[in-house]
Structure 1
């Protein structure tokens, strides 16, 4: 009677572990696409009987992929920004014939590193993480081996692709706009510890000042500014001299700063200019409407799904950071100075 071919026989022929053969035949993560194909080819050559694993693989070929979108409760609450990205992700996932599962991560799950329930309840082929949760939590998700793409967040220890705004060049463009209007004393307002994006916007602010030979004034750099009117007011009142323009790290700060200046008796933009970032609702409903940097949120979501699709099929390619451009929207809060 002819001996039945085993996984060990395939492993011996390819000089790899039996576990790698099992992962390759079952379609689980952990082996390269090259190894997966080599194992399947050798299995066919040797006449290996797949039983359940072959059936699972056949199902994977015909069943749509399952994509998970996860984010913190806080990120999901920012409807005007992340809501648009989410809708774009949903449309792109559906257009590619895939299923989308969504889960919000609360503070308890984050602190205790409890993985999303959808990862155990469903066969998930790829994960999108929207914004920041915590480095430890995100690392645990990435360590599952499921292809993961980060949206609007990156950190040196997170080994996953990232889709990011080109914050440095965007902030550079905004501050350059103020400089070209004749402003030389330009303040920076934002909490750089809140997000890597805000630190990068500070970098862009400094790049613009440096290019035009303007010395950065430490008094004008409010780099721990919370989105709080009382805190901004306290900072403003303690300034010995007042800048002629304010670059705010987001539209929330821009809206509060514009209101504060007006309450202090300044005309915006007659006396002082304000420029912000994100082109969210607050920049559009302010009086005057605020000059800001626009981010194409629809393209953001589309690009994230596109990158995840690519990563699922190219698991061993180098990690990539993809920077998306911004566009200056000139409104009524900035004008020529002097």
Structure 2
């Protein structure tokens, strides 16, 4: 009978402590990333089986992960679709099945859970973007380990993977300020999601640190992603800002289009920065300076955190904050000189 490989066997093979092996295989801090990868590689070569994997084998089944999001979230295919593909790839790589369901308005309002959650047919749950706090807490009340992706709230006790919206927005506005812009508009619906609220906070932080007083007439906090709404806002301004910061690429695209309709040239007369590095920022004329989010990493870290939570149910909740970077394109230039 083949001897079962233990953590001590792996430790002896690598001439390290058993505790280091345990920390690496359970996803805990305390070992370097290089050592963690080396331990995982040797464990695989030696045929070590994780406790969770042995349990599933004994039960004669593979594990199941639930994946839910609102109908609205699933409609944003360019952004959230990439996160979903990354999640699916990572879950399958770990030998589990992914059960997907969109949540419509009626289900949210009546707190109707998918059958695979209600009947506890999944081992873990990923919730993508915003669903009502009441609905998310109903999911969490089932006791199934749950991780939020691109969403959090003070009244939700769950792990979350997020992007650093404040700092990403700060970098965008800082870029505009360094191009000598002082009249910088903000466009976004901050009530839509915590992400947009945080991007607004990053906008204000950059202005404050550079000693620029925010101008109320240039702050459009209830902006709908509709051409007629953006056009009307631009038309009613008594004077035009020299730069615009938009909370997503869709709004950046609309601002660009509406400014051109008004005879305002981008970037000669007005610069535009947006957020997400989606398709609209790439096809806009000129192409839009934007803040990039690593969507593949987003999905991968969400799955990693969920699998860690499934093995560590009593550990404190975590929020993993992913950094973002500014991509400079043709839509931003030095502020026009005042006559």
Q: TM-score, normalised by structure 1?
A: 0.81
Query: Helix, strand or coil: the match of 2:267?
Result: coil
Of 176, 179, 182, 2:177 maps to 179
The root-mean-square deviation of aligned C-alpha atoms, in Å, is 1.5
Shift of 1:62: 5.8
Q: Quick one: which of 78, 81, 106 aligns to 1:80?
A: 78
Matching residue of 2:288: 290
CA gap of 1:270–1:317, structure 2 versus 1, over 3 A, is: same
Residue 226 of structure 2 corresponds to which residue in structure 1?
Answer: 228
Write out per-residue CA displacement over residues 168-207 of structure 1, whole angstroms, 9 at most, x where no aligned residue: 0000000000000110110000000011100000000011
1:182-261 pair list within 5 angstroms? 182-261=180-259
Instruction: Find the aligned partners of 1:136 and 1:171 in 2 and give their Cα distance.
Output: 29
Indicate if the aligned counterparts of 1:254 and 1:275 stay in contact, CA closer than 8 A: yes
Give 1:169's aligned residue.
167
1:319 matched to 2:321? The reply is no
Matches of 1:238 and 1:70, distance apart in 2:
41
Query: Structure 1 60/333 Cα, relative in aligned 2: closer, same or farther at 3 Å?
Result: farther
Please list, as runs of the form range in 1=range in 2, the aligned pairs for 1:11-90 lying within 5 A after superposition: 63-90=61-88
Secondary structure of 2:66 counterpart: strand
Structure 2 Cα separation of the partners of residues 202 and 120 of structure 1: 37
Name structure 1 gaps, 5 residues minimum: 1-55
Q: Which residue number corresponds to residue 303 of structure 2?
A: 305
Alpha-carbon distance, 1:156 to partner: 0.7
Alignment equivalent of 2:151, drawn from 150, 153, 157: 153
Report the CA distance between 1:283 and its aligned residue. 0.6
Report the equivalent of 1:265.
263
Distance 1:60 1:169 in 2: 47
- The reply to whether residue 135 of structure 1 matches residue 133 of structure 2 is yes
Superposed CA deviations along residues 42-68 of structure 1, whole A, max 9, x for unmatched, are: xxxxxxxxxxxxxx9675666322111
After superposition, what is the alpha-carbon deviation per residue over 1:220-272, rounded to whole angstroms, capped at 9, x for unaligned? 11111111111112211221221100000100100000000111001100111
CA distance in 2 between partners of 1:198 and 1:311 (Å): 28
Query: 1:103 touches 1:118 (CA, 8 Å); kept in 2?
Result: no
Q: Is the partner of 2:185 in helix, strand or coil?
A: strand
User: What is the DSSP-based 3-state SS (H/G/I as helix, E as strand, rest coil) of the residue aligned with 2:316?
Assistant: coil
CA distance in 2, matches of 1:150, 1:278: 19
- On the 8 A contact 1:192/1:199 being kept in 2, the answer is yes
Equivalent-residue separation in structure 1 for 2:253 and 2:93 (angstroms): 37
Contact 1:128/1:149, CA 8 A, preserved across alignment: yes
Q: What is the CA distance between 1:139 and its match in structure 2?
A: 0.7
Q: Secondary structure at the match of 1:277?
A: strand
- Is the CA contact (8 Å cut-off) linking 2:56 and 2:63 kept in structure 1? no
2:276 aligns to what? 278
Give the TM-score taking structure 2 as reference length.
Answer: 0.81
* Cα distance change on mapping 1:122 and 1:59 into 2, 3 Å: farther
Number of equivalent positions? 283
